[in-house]
């Protein structure tokens, strides 16, 4: 069975600081991995995805994530946080690009001025 663990339900950073949101996965088959962002009262928006091509994946809004098979991790980073990055972030795994997604519990990112 597949699963996702996001370390830290809440992360707070200062504006301009590095953002690091952690995600570890468990999968019996090569995984497809995703990061989604959810702004208040909105649906989920895809930030980036890993589909077995390059291990460093670049997404929208300056975010990127690195797939590390040896660590079963897919951490999300952004070099410099912006106030508009404040939202909830979800890591997800699926057995295929179009298969059902198994989500982590989410990490709420706060950005302090």
Binding site for another protein (CB under 8 A): 34, 36, 41-46, 49, 90, 92, 96-106
Nearer to another protein, 45 or 80 (CB): 45
Least separation in angstroms between residue 97's CB and another protein is 4
Query: Phi, psi (5° rounding) for residue 78?
Result: -150, 130
Nearer to another protein, 17 or 44 (CB): 44
Euclidean distance between the first and the last CA atom of the chain, given in angstroms as a whole number = 41
Nearer to another protein, 3 or 14 (CB): 3
Least separation in angstroms between residue 31's CB and another protein is 14
Query: Phi, psi (5° rounding) for residue 71?
Result: -105, 0
| Residues pairing with 33 in the sheet | 50, 93
Least separation in angstroms between residue 82's CB and another protein is 23
61 Rama class: left (phi>0) / alpha (psi -120 to 50) / beta? left
């Amino acid at each position: 069975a597949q699963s996702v663990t996001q370390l830290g339900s809440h992360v707070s950073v200062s504006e301009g600081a590095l953002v690091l949101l952690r995600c570890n996965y468990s999968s019996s088959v090569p995984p497809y991995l995703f990061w989604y962002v959810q702004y208040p009262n909105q649906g989920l928006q895809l930030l980036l995805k890993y589909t077995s091509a390059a291990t460093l994946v670049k997404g929208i809004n300056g975010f990127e994530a690195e797939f590390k098979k040896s660590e079963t991790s897919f951490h999300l980073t952004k070099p410099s946080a912006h106030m508009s990055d404040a939202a909830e972030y979800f890591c997800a795994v699926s057995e295929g690009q179009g298969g059902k997604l198994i989500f982590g519990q989410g990490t709420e990112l706060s950005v302090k001025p």
